Amino acid sequence: MYFPSYRMRRLRQSRQMRDLVHETDLLPDRLIYPLFVTHGNNVRNQVDAMPGCYQLSINNLVEEAKEVRELGIPGVVLFGIPAEKDEAGTEAYDDEGIVQMAIGALKENVPELLVITDVCLCEYTSHGHCGIVRDGDVDNDVTLEMLSKMAVSHAEAGADIVAPSDMMDGRVAAIRASLDGEGFSNTPIMSYSSKFASAFYGPFREAAESTPEFGDRRSYQMDHRNSDEAVRETLLDIEEGADIVMVKPALPYLDIIYRIKQETKFPLAAYNVSGEYSMIKAAAEKGWIDEKRTVLEALTSIRRAGADITITYHAKDAAVWLKEK
Ligand code: PBG
C-alpha cells in the first residue's frame, strides 16, 4: 500500500495524535545524576568546563540529593575527591574516606535515594591511573584487590549499588566474591562493561581531578574502533556476575547500546558523559542551539537505542522539563 492510500503525515498532524503513537518514553525515573563530593564544609566549586555541575562538600551534597529526589530522579552516582592522593589510592578504600562518609550522610538524610558508587582508583592515585602502577603500566591483578576492598567499604557504608569503572580484567568476579564473602550478596554490581578510551571524558577529569600524569588509558579502556569486542567485554562481565551492564560514552556509541541490548537483554545503563554534556551547554550558552530541545532529543535517542537507565549531568534539568511538558 503506497501513496496516496497511505499518508505518513496523517498521524503527525497534531500533538495529541503524535503522542498517541510515540514509541519511546523518556521519564525521570530512569535517569541517574552524577555528583562530585569533596572534603570541607559549605564547599560548592563550580566545574569550569561543566556549567551547572559542582564539587560539593557533604552538607551541600545532602541538599543537592534532596532536590534530586524531589524531582523524581531515583539515584545518584558518587565520585569522590580525596584529601590526599598517593601511589596506592589509599583513600579509595578507607572507611573514613570522602565517599564512605558521603554515603552515610545520604543514607541518613535521603534514605530512599539510590546511592551508586564509582569503584575506580583514578581520583585517588597521585599518578591519576585507574589502578596500581608497576613498571609504567597498571598492574591488573594487584589492582583487583584494591577495587574489591573499595567496593566492600562502599557496601559497608550503605551503598545500594557499586559500579566498577576501572576496566581491569576480572574485576566483576573479584568484587562479587568479596561482596559475597563479607555478607553483601544482595548488593548489585553495575559494571562499566564497555567503556571506551574517549576524548569525551575531558571535562570530567577537571571535575574529578583525575587526569593521568603520564600516558593515557588505552591499555585498559576500549578502542573506539571496536564493536564486536564490546559484546565480548559485556558477555564476560555478565558471566562474572554483573547485574547491570553499561555502555560509555553514550551518544557517539548508540550503535553499541543497540547491539548490547539486542544481544544480551540485560538491564543496560548508558553514560552520557561530561564531554557530551559540555558540548550542548557550550553551544546553548552561545545561543547556537535550543538547550531544552537538544537535551530531550539526545536523551530520547539514548533510550530509543536501547538503554534502560541513562546516567547524565542533564538529569535535573531534564526532570524539570519533562514535568513542564
Ligand atoms: C573513572 C571515571 C571516568 C568517568 C567516569 N568514571 C573518567 C575516566 O575514565 O577517565 C568519566 C565520566 C564523564 O566523562 O562524565 N574511571
Domain-located, residue 104? yes
Q: Is 261 a catalytic residue?
A: no
Buried b / exposed e across 303-318, counting CB within 10 Å, b at 16+? bebbbebbbbbbbbbb
Q: Where are the beta strands (DSSP E) in 48-91?
A: 54-56, 75-81
The three cell numbers of residue 49 are 568546563
pLDDT of residue 169: 95
The string of DSSP letters for 230-282 reads HHHHHHHHHHHT-SEEEEES-GGGHHHHHHHHHHH---EEEEE-HHHHHHHHH
Domain-located, residue 18? no
β-pairing verdict for 75-81 and 114-119: parallel
118: containing domain: 25-324
Q: How confident is the model at residue 105 (pLDDT cuts 50, 70, 90)?
A: very high
Q: Number of structural domains, the chain? A: 1
Domain-located, residue 7? no
Atom of ligand 1 nearest to the CA of 195: 9
Domain-located, residue 242? yes
Atom of ligand 1 nearest to the CA of 123: 1
The three cell numbers of residue 302 are 539514548
Tell me the mean pLDDT in the region 56-79.
98
Distance CA 243, CA 161 (A): 10
| 325 pLDDT above the threshold of 80 | no
Q: How confident is the model at residue 213 (pLDDT cuts 50, 70, 90)?
A: confident
CA of 300 to the centre of ligand 1 (A): 22
The three cell numbers of residue 195 are 567503556
Domain-located, residue 13? no
Q: How confident is the model at residue 12 (pLDDT cuts 50, 70, 90)?
A: very high
CATH number for the domain including 286? Answer: 3.20.20.70
Q: Where are the beta strands (DSSP E) in the chain?
A: 31-38, 44-46, 54-56, 75-81, 114-119, 133-134, 137-138, 161-164, 190-195, 244-248, 268-272, 309-312
Q: How confident is the model at residue 1 (pLDDT cuts 50, 70, 90)?
A: confident
Domain-located, residue 247? yes
How many helices (H) and strands (E) would you count in the chain? 11, 12
Domain-located, residue 216? yes
- Which tens digit of pLDDT belongs to each residue from 265-274? 999 999 999 9
Domain-located, residue 95? yes
**Residue 324 C-beta-side C-alpha neighbours within 13 Å:** 9
Distance CA 52, CA 86 (A): 30
Q: Given the residues 85, 195, 261, 316, select the one marked as catalytic.
A: 195
Q: Is 195 a catalytic residue?
A: yes
